[in-house]
Amino acid sequence: MRILINNRIDLIFLICLKLSFCYLAYILFTNSLGINIFKYPDMEAYKDCIGTGEIMVNVLYSELLCTFGLNNEDAISSFELIFLACSINIFGICAYYLLFKDFLDRKGQILFILLLSFHPYLAIYFPRFFTDLFGPLGILLICYYAVKRIELNIIFIILSLILINLRASLMPPLFFYAFYIFLRHFRKTNKVNLSSLLLMILIIVNFFLYKGFSDTFIQNNNFYDNKLFNIIFLLGFREGAANEGFMNIFFYGGLNGYLQFVISIMLLIMHSIGIYGLLKFAFTKNLYELTSVLTVLIVPLIAISHMRYLLPIIPLLLFSFSWYLFRKN
């Protein structure tokens, strides 16, 4: 509570900016561009409840929607799910700010607040109760335990199991985080860390439950049928560019298309600096386990990539970008 009180001005500023920009983004997309930001094609995979159909992945997400009778695409735009998504996202960005602000000087803190508030992709996903909502929370869990130097415990294991069944893409970073903790503990003590070993076993078991979906996803490819483009799409470009190509999305769309292309290039540069800054931060602060979060990118890089799959680590990259420019001495 004291942390919240001491940082209340920053948090109020962050929340107000975030809500204002997200509302403006919603108005722009719906009224000016005619885009329904709540359209969720993936809902077809989550409409079946346990015992009524085949659930391929993210079983807790499906069951959560089923429990409240919200397992249909129209429900995504309901007040209940929009409010829940906004609340979870506000918690997430505030938690990221409070966790990392002390590594930044005042300019860095202000920049971090502005980036969290005005990042366009975070704004688009802010009111969406999609499975993507839970990706940044899984990365936040790793960051919290790493930065606070808390031993991997039963709370971490339980939260990890919940989160990977809400967003399956969290399995690689949580597995490799546990693997790093296992190796570090064994190297120091010559003893097995049972908590990390248990978590690794549970994640492996969970993976085999979703293996069918994983095999299907790996077969996807981008518009150019070239995996080298994946890193470009991942760091700065939306789904349309990966599926339809640069020309169709950006250069046949008039001024709006060119503007989107420029913004995408800026995001690509910022995210790239953010990844470099994250590695530098992890090695400077001896927080090597933080690098495990980058493994969330492995599967998209070998299948099909766009910025949606970068979403789990975007808040962290915004911090590391800010830290790279304005770190506290």
DSSP 3-state of 239: helix
pLDDT in tens, 7-45: 888 999 999 999 999 999 888 878 766 677 777 777 777
**Does the pLDDT at position 238 exceed 60?**
yes
pLDDT in tens, 47-105: 777 656 565 678 888 888 888 787 777 778 888 899 999 999 999 999 999 999 999 99
**Does the pLDDT at position 244 exceed 70?**
no
Q: For the CA atoms of 46, 198, 184, 178, what is the dihedral angle to 10 degrees?
A: 0
* 282 vs 287: CA distance, rounded Å: 5
C-alpha 55: how far from chain center: 22
Q: How many domains does the chain have?
A: 1
Reported as half-sphere exposure (CB side, CA atoms, 13 A), residue 196 has a value of 22
DSSP 3-state of 137: helix
C-alpha 319: how far from chain center: 14
Distant-in-sequence, close-in-space partners of 282: CB < 8 Å, separation ≥ 6: 288, 289, 290, 291
The CB density around residue 302, as the number of other CB atoms within 10 Å, is 13
Q: Which two tokens stand for residue 120?
A: 């366009």
Q: Nearest-CA neighbor of 290 among 183, 135, 160, 147? A: 147
Percent of all residues in the chain with a pLDDT value above 70, rounded to a whole number: 84
Q: Which two tokens stand for residue 295?
A: 């493994």
Q: Which two tokens stand for residue 68?
A: 């409240």
Q: Are 102 and 249 in contact (CB under 8 A)?
A: no
pLDDT recorded at residue 217: 62
Instruction: Give the relative orientation of helices 314-326 and 106-118 as an angle to the nearest 10 degrees.
Output: 150
The CB density around residue 51, as the number of other CB atoms within 10 Å, is 7
pLDDT recorded at residue 242: 65
* Host domain of residue 101: 2-326
Q: How far apart are the first and last CA of the chain?
A: 27
Q: Are 111 and 325 in contact (CB under 8 A)?
A: yes
Q: For the CA atoms of 86, 91, 95, 96, what is the dihedral angle to 10 degrees?
A: -10
pLDDT recorded at residue 71: 77
Q: Which two tokens stand for residue 60?
A: 């807790």
